[in-house]
Amino acid sequence: MRRSIFTAGVGAAAMAAAIALAGPAQAAEGDAQLSVLHGVPGLTVDVWVNGDRTLDDFTPGSLAGPLALPPGAYELAITASDAADASAPAIGPVTVTLAANGNYTAVANLDAAGKPTANLFTNDVSRIPAGKGKLTVRHTAAAPAVDVLAGGAAVVSNLANPSEQSLTLDPGTISAAVAATGTTAPVIGPADVTVSEGTHTIVYAWGSLTDKNLQLAVQTIDGLHSAPGSVPGARDGSSENVASAGSLPAGVSAGQIVAMVGFGALALVLLLGGIGMARTIAELREG
């Protein structure tokens, strides 16, 4: 899901949502996860939060995060690179609000007409079916609607800025290209994109078609495996390997299960036999 957070002329403000990579290193219960992509060509900035410089010389194409941040509102300002302070911001101050347990990517980008803007995307961190990976394509470039091609065929059609589309795919490497809708001549790529099991791979098209600087940026969110391989574990997306109901643990055969059950039964018999023998000995002593 995408939510517009600033209008034309405030493109770099999305970067301010990176509230400092100097924030807390460990996620606490309820923290939001935030990544920031700088997709405005030719613009290097400093980002300030509450008057403190938090990102210095943030350059186009950079992806920062994810950063665990307590939910709430943050006052941010954008200045020219290496400004002495935030007293005369070029953009802002603005307020960005993050919800508890949300996973976001803030993207400073150009709209379809080439004007700076920014969007806040909510990243899907739900469990991915076993044996599958997820691919999301986001159009954040100054370009008309596009098709995303894999092997020369459109797998995503008529994607307009600032929309997104997701696919659930078998793991593997895709040779992906971006072309104007209804055509097959690439304006970006082809480029190899890897889709891994249990991983959400997010591809951004950014830059300007007119200025001929269109590029791809890739973000990955892993640890989204489903049963039988794993179940949800830590809030940060990690997982614990377990055997799901009705399935065998990875790498364990039915024969091994039978052997383990047989050994367990034998151990139980020996244990009970030992207890019985101990009781018999005790009774003989008392007699």
For the chain, give the number of residues.
287
What local confidence, expressed as pLDDT, does residue 38 receive?
Answer: 86
Q: Are 198 and 186 in contact (CB under 8 A)?
A: no
Parallel/antiparallel/unpaired status of strands 146-150 and 172-180: antiparallel
Parallel/antiparallel/unpaired status of strands 103-110 and 91-98: unpaired
What local confidence, expressed as pLDDT, does residue 75 receive?
Answer: 72
> Within a domain: residue 261?
yes
**Do 187 and 110 sit in the same domain of this protein?**
no
Split into its structural domains, the chain has a count of: 3
Q: Is this structure's pTM higher than 0.85?
A: no
> Within a domain: residue 264?
yes
> Within a domain: residue 248?
no
**Do 32 and 14 sit in the same domain of this protein?**
yes
What local confidence, expressed as pLDDT, does residue 91 receive?
Answer: 63
CA dihedral 117, 199, 172, 158 (to 10 degrees): -30
Domain ranges, residue 111: 1-123
Averaged over successive runs of 10 residues, the pLDDT of the chain (287 residues) comes to 46 37 61 86 78 84 87 75 84 75 86 86 94 97 96 94 97 96 95 97 97 96 80 41 35 39 38 43 46
**Do 216 and 130 sit in the same domain of this protein?**
yes
**Do 103 and 136 sit in the same domain of this protein?**
no
Question: Which tokens go with 169?
Answer: 């795919």
What local confidence, expressed as pLDDT, does residue 77 receive?
Answer: 67
One DSSP character per residue, 159-218 reads E-TT-EEEEEE-SEEEEEEEEETT--SEEEEEEEEEE-TT-EEEEEEEEETTTT--EEEE
Dihedral of CA 262/264/270/273: which sign?
Answer: negative
What local confidence, expressed as pLDDT, does residue 262 receive?
Answer: 43
What local confidence, expressed as pLDDT, does residue 35 receive?
Answer: 85
What local confidence, expressed as pLDDT, does residue 179 receive?
Answer: 96
